[in-house]
Amino acid sequence: MSENIAHTSEPHDHEEHHFEIIEQGLHEIHSTRKEIWRVFFILLAITVLEFLIALTPAIKDGLGKSKVVGIFFFLTVLKAFYIVGYFMHLKHEKLNMAYTILIPLMFIAYLITLLLFEGSHQIHI
């Protein structure tokens, strides 16, 4: 209550504060757009890298299948991080919110582990 009174008694100060907010807003718009394009080019670069690996037999033969598949998986998760974090804005949400979404996804990793073990076991029967 006392703060309110202080503000009304100094209208000049209040106005300046207002301008600051607008300026800050303009700056934010600029940097948000910049960030969007930055993320776009990162996603594009990762995709191009994936293509280069997929289409170069020398890399595939040199590294071996399991390493190449591992690299593909890593690059995919990296792309997912940029899409969820920046495009879906989860990186700038509250931590509570991010955990609510991300922690249940552990079950997917669990399912993958289980079924891949089960699958490779079935091959040897």
Sites of contact with other proteins (CB under 8 A): 29, 32-33, 36-37, 40, 43-44, 47, 50-51, 53-55, 60, 65, 68-69, 72-73, 75-76, 79-80, 83-84, 86-88, 93-94, 96-97, 100-101, 104-105, 107-108, 111-112, 115-116, 118-120, 122-123
Q: State how far the Cα of 1 lies from the Cα of 6, in Å rounded to an integer.
A: 9
Nearer to other proteins, 10 or 25 (CB): 25
The nearest distance, CB 20 to other proteins, in angstroms, is 18
Cα–Cα nearest to 41, from 95, 4, 79:
79
Tokens found for residue 65: 């299948």
Q: What is the DSSP string of 77-89?
A: HHHHHHIIIIIS-
